[in-house]
Amino acid sequence: MNAKGYLLDDNGNIVNKRKIKVFNKKLLEEDGEVPKVFRAGLLRKDTYDSFSQLMSEIEDLERLQEMEESA
């Protein structure tokens, strides 16, 4: 176990209770913590519908910016 409480294998990779690697040692921060982008839930598996909605919102924001710039 590292200082942050994660279970480690013999190579320093984070593993789960079944000893299956879930995080490569190379990805860990210097203090042994998982990078914030993974802890904060910023990366998650979206469905096609969520992705479509996100793209639509981005397009709406781009149109709004264009309108503001031309005004």
pTM listed for this prediction: 0.54
* Contact status, residue 41 vs residue 11, Cβ threshold 8 Å: no
- From 10-14, 15-19, 62-66, the region with the lowest mean pLDDT: 62-66
35 assigned to some structural domain: yes
31 assigned to some structural domain: yes
19 assigned to some structural domain: yes
Give tens-digit pLDDT for 25-68: 998 999 999 888 777 766 665 556 677 777 788 888 888 888 88
5 assigned to some structural domain: no
8 assigned to some structural domain: no
CA dihedral 4, 6, 8, 14 (to 10 degrees): -110
Residues 11-26 have a mean pLDDT of: 92
Indicate whether 13 pLDDT > 90: yes
What pLDDT score was predicted for residue 5? 92
